[in-house]
Structure 1
Amino acid sequence: MSTITTPDGTTIFYKDWGPRDGQPVVFHHGWPLSSDDWDAQLLFFLARGYRVLAHDRRGHGRSTQTATGHDMDTYAADVTALTDALDLQHAFHIGHSTGGGEVARYVARAKPGRVGKAVLVGAVPPVMVKKESNPGGIPIEVFDGFRASLAANRAQFYLELASGPFYGFNRPDAQISQGLIDRWCWQGMMGAANAHYECIKAWSETDFTEDLKKIDVPVLIAHGDDDQVVPIEDSALLTTKLVKNNELKVYKGYPHGMLSTHPDVLNPDILAFLQG
């Protein structure tokens, strides 16, 4: 099992497949999942000669269940520790949902030469919560409800998310995959309840506006227009106004978990952007 140890003693689990001299592609998972959520992408890019890497965020998957550090600054610092330990140069960083926020913060602060391109898929930036500077955001009461549901019965809460809005399985014409639902739930339950509870604040309240303005590498912004978890109007469409060099791809009718429901469409599109 491959791991690195961060400066505060946290063990971060990661996958590192493919040729060591291949172009590195680093995948950043969403809440409350793990690197296993990237199976379809890891295999796709591995088959095309890339060096593919994915880590479990602290408190998630097989990484240390820490008492502290469940915030975007620490998440980005953990990515820095990983990329420094592996000396990744001109890597492509792809983040989904919360992982998209992690990518935005990391890329904005990365050392010169570390990042080549970035991809944000169904990503939480610029900021999700409703406030004076973000009137179109989601009321804080919604996220308070997430925390209450997690604390009351985490397993049931996760089952309802995976069975419903995450993959769009609550839509009348949805083709439901029990396998995806089960995979989502067991990934979630592998992690720590405290980390997942505190991470809700990290992905809902962190403001990435200044991070997005600082990014100077090419960025693909991919979002489904039926994303019920991170609505496109208050995320991708605003992010395009802040990132200097970006390409926006909107997927009609696609849900938040479109990387898993439509990998046959997303994977080639991401590949084309990275190769362009």
Structure 2
Amino acid sequence: MGYFVTVEPGVNLYVEDVNPGGSKTIVFLHGWPLSHDQFEYQFSILPAMGYRCIGIDWRGFGKSDKPVSGYSFNRLADDIRTVVDILQLTNFTFVGHSTGGAIAIRYMSRHNGYGVSKLVLVDAAAPTGFTPETANALLTETLNDRPKMMQGVTDQFFFQYISKPFSDWFMQMGLQAASWSTAAIIVTLRDEKLDEDLPKINVPTLIIHGIHDKVIPFAQAPELNQKIRNSQLIPFEYSGHGAFWEERDKFNKLLTQFI
């Protein structure tokens, strides 16, 4: 079922909550500029296995409200904390992809991992997001030809072949975001760093990263592994930035084993 959670006056986040009676809870945070729909191939499998799967669209993206401000990692992490409090979530596994991984890291640091028993970082945009050159190029395209920008992101996102219908679906998911929130997150990924957050993570952490990732280079994954205590790195040999889809059977199996 889907519903909205108010995180501040006038700002409601969309939450997809599948199998609320599940024995274990997994909270998914999508990447930029997508939505919880990117995890379709987890939500179609894991709830049937007995898991409660919660997907949260961050402010500005997917079906959530799209205010003009509030796109720092602190604010986005605080939004998640509000959802966790209102839904009274405890002992859940936190899965963050790309920028969602960066938000999850800030949540773990800023809120002392409240309610989280295990953390999964997938192609995480950490400790660095975009280089200034990449960010500025994306920002220019976003403000002048956002569909072209999204097509470029889609083209370099996957290592494995994707069909034209899949590409179209993926692009539309990204274009569901507001232009201003899409641009604001580019600036956040350019300007904010997460190095000081990593030593504060205090739960078992699984790091999954595609070795062919052209969005967030694989070289950042060993750095996360080194700086996060009690973490393990699993390289995905046939994935780019979309391990959750490109090697979804392996991904789903690893996730359930880790939980």
Q: TM-score, normalised by structure 1?
A: 0.89
Shift of 1:206: 1.9
Structure 2 unpaired stretches of 5+: none
Greater mean alpha carbon deviation, residues 197-206 or residues 62-71:
197-206
In the other structure, the counterpart of 1:156 is 148
Instruction: Give yes or no for contact 1:19–1:49 (8 Å, CA) kept in 2.
Output: no
1:145-192 alpha-carbon deviations (Å, 9 max, x no partner): 000011111012111221x21113xxxxx4232233112211111110
Residue number among 222, 233, 239 corresponding to 1:254 in the alignment: 239
Shift of 1:208: 1.1
Say yes or no: does 1:81 pair with 2:79: no
Structure 2 vs 1, CA of residues 57 and 112 (structure 1 numbering), >3 Å: closer, same or farther?
closer
Structure 2 vs 1, CA of residues 103 and 126 (structure 1 numbering), >3 Å: closer, same or farther?
same
Residue number among 173, 194, 197 corresponding to 1:187 in the alignment: 173
Correspondence list, 1:123-272, <5 A: 123-129=124-130, 138=131, 140-162=132-154, 164-168=155-159, 174-233=160-219, 235-272=220-257
Shift of 1:35: 0.8
Instruction: Give yes or no for contact 1:127–1:205 (8 Å, CA) kept in 2.
Output: no
Determine the C-alpha separation between the residues in 1 that align with 2:48 and 2:190: 35
1:33-79 alpha-carbon deviations (Å, 9 max, x no partner): 00111111122211110111001110001111101001111110110
Determine the C-alpha separation between the residues in 1 that align with 2:190 and 2:23: 35
In the other structure, the counterpart of 1:132 is none
Shift of 1:209: 1.4
Structure 1 unpaired stretches of 5+: 130-137, 169-173
Across the two proteins, how many residue pairs are aligned to each other? 258
Determine the C-alpha separation between the residues in 2 that align with 1:75 and 1:222: 22
Say yes or no: does 1:91 pair with 2:92: yes
Task: State the secondary structure of the residue aligned to 1:69.
Answer: coil
Determine the C-alpha separation between the residues in 2 that align with 1:124 and 1:260: 18
Shift of 1:141: 1.7
Greater mean alpha carbon deviation, residues 48-57 or residues 12-21:
12-21
Instruction: Give yes or no for contact 1:108–1:211 (8 Å, CA) kept in 2.
Output: yes
The percentage of aligned residue pairs carrying the same residue is: 29
Instruction: Give yes or no for contact 1:5–1:12 (8 Å, CA) kept in 2.
Output: yes
Task: State the secondary structure of the residue aligned to 2:69.
Answer: coil
Instruction: Give yes or no for contact 1:124–1:204 (8 Å, CA) kept in 2.
Output: no
State the Cα RMSD in Å. Answer: 1.5
Instruction: Give yes or no for contact 1:166–1:257 (8 Å, CA) kept in 2.
Output: yes
1:75-103 alpha-carbon deviations (Å, 9 max, x no partner): 10110010000000011000110000011
Shift of 1:211: 1.4
Dislocated runs of 4+, deviation >4 Å:
none
Structure 2 vs 1, CA of residues 51 and 253 (structure 1 numbering), >3 Å: closer, same or farther?
closer
Determine the C-alpha separation between the residues in 2 that align with 1:220 and 1:182: 31
In the other structure, the counterpart of 2:25 is 24
Determine the C-alpha separation between the residues in 1 that align with 2:211 and 2:88: 37
Greater mean alpha carbon deviation, residues 5-14 or residues 84-93:
5-14
In the other structure, the counterpart of 2:70 is 69
